[in-house]
Chain A
Amino acid sequence: MNRERAETHLRLMVEAEMRDAVSAKPVSSAPWSADSPNASFPVVAKVAQALTAVGALDAEAAEDILADFAFAVAVRQGSDLGSLGLRSLRLAGWTPFARPMPFTWPPPTGLLSAAKADPAAGERPAGPGAGEPDRVLPVGVMIPFRQDRVRGELVLMSYAHTISGARFAVAWWIGDSADADRVRFAHPAMLPAPDITTRDDKGASYGLRFTGSGGPEWTGDLILDPEPKRDVRWLDIALPGGPAVRIALGPGSPDGAGPLVKKTGLSSGEHLLNTTAEQLLTIGTDVPLRFRTQGPYISLATGLGAVVAALEAAEVLSALSPVPGQLATLCASLRIYEHGITAAPAHDLPEPWLSVLAHYHRRKPEAPGRDGYAAVGLALPELDGIRLALLGLHNVAGGSVLDVLVNAVAGPVPLSVWVHDSGGRWHATRQVGSRPPRLASSGERRVRLQLTPPLNQSTPWIEVVVVGMSAEVRAKVPLRWRYPP
Chain B
Amino acid sequence: MINNPNGRWFDCLPSCQAQVPCGHARHTVRWEAGSLVLSEHPDAEGEQVLAALGGDKAGCVELAEAWGRHIADLSMLAIGPRGPADEIVVGWEDVAEAAQASQGRPGYPGRRPRPAQQIQPRPTPMAKPIRASARAVSAHRQAQAEVDRARQRRNDLLSLLALGYGFQVRLIGHVAAAHADRSDERVRPALVAAITGRLAPVAERWLGIDPDQVAVSLEHRPGCRATELTGRGEERQLRVSLPAGWLASVWACGLALVGRYLVVAVEQAGWPDARVLGLRSPGAEPVPLDVHAAADAHDGPADAPHWEI
Contact = CB atoms under 8 A, between A and B. Distances in A.
A365 B65 CA distance: 67
B154 interface: yes
Nearest to B153: A85
Given A19-B211, A82-B97, A83-B101, A69 B78 contact: yes
Interface residues of B, number: 36
Nearest to B82: A22
Contacts of B211: 19
Interface in B79-108: 79, 82-83, 85-90, 94, 97-98, 100-101
A220 B94 CA distance: 53
Grouping DSSP codes into helix (H, G, I), strand (E, B) and loop, the A interface class, with mixed when no group exceeds half, is helix
Contact of B78 (A7, A8, A14, A84): A14
Contacts of A435: none
Contacts of B196: 12, 15
Q: Which range contains the number of A residues in contact with the other chain?
A: 20 to 34
A14 B157 CA distance: 19
Given A4-B188, A15-B200, A16-B212, A65 B78 contact: yes
A82 B82 contact: no
A7 B192 CA distance: 10
A45 to B, nearest CB: 15
A8 B85 contact: no
B193 A75 contact: no
B193 A84 contact: no
A396 interface: no
B190 to A, nearest CB: 6
B292 to A, nearest CB: 29
Contact of B188 (A8, A15, A77, A81): A8
Contact of B98 (A4, A72, A81): A81
A86 B90 contact: no
Interface in A387-441: none
A78 B89 contact: yes
Nearest to A87: B150
Interface string A12-34: 10111011001000000000000
A86 B150 contact: yes
Contacts of A15: 193, 196-197, 200
Nearest 3 A-B pairs (CB), nearest first?
A: A82-B101, A11-B193, A15-B197
22 contacts: A4-B189, A8-B189, A8-B192, A12-B192, A12-B193, A12-B196, A14-B193, A15-B200, A16-B212, A19-B201, A22-B83, A22-B86, A22-B201, A64-B75, A71-B78, A71-B79, A75-B89, A75-B158, A76-B86, A76-B89, A84-B154, A86-B151
Given A78-B89, A86-B150, 10 more contacts: A11-B190, A14-B78, A19-B82, A81-B94, A81-B154, A81-B158, A82-B98, A84-B98, A84-B154, A85-B151
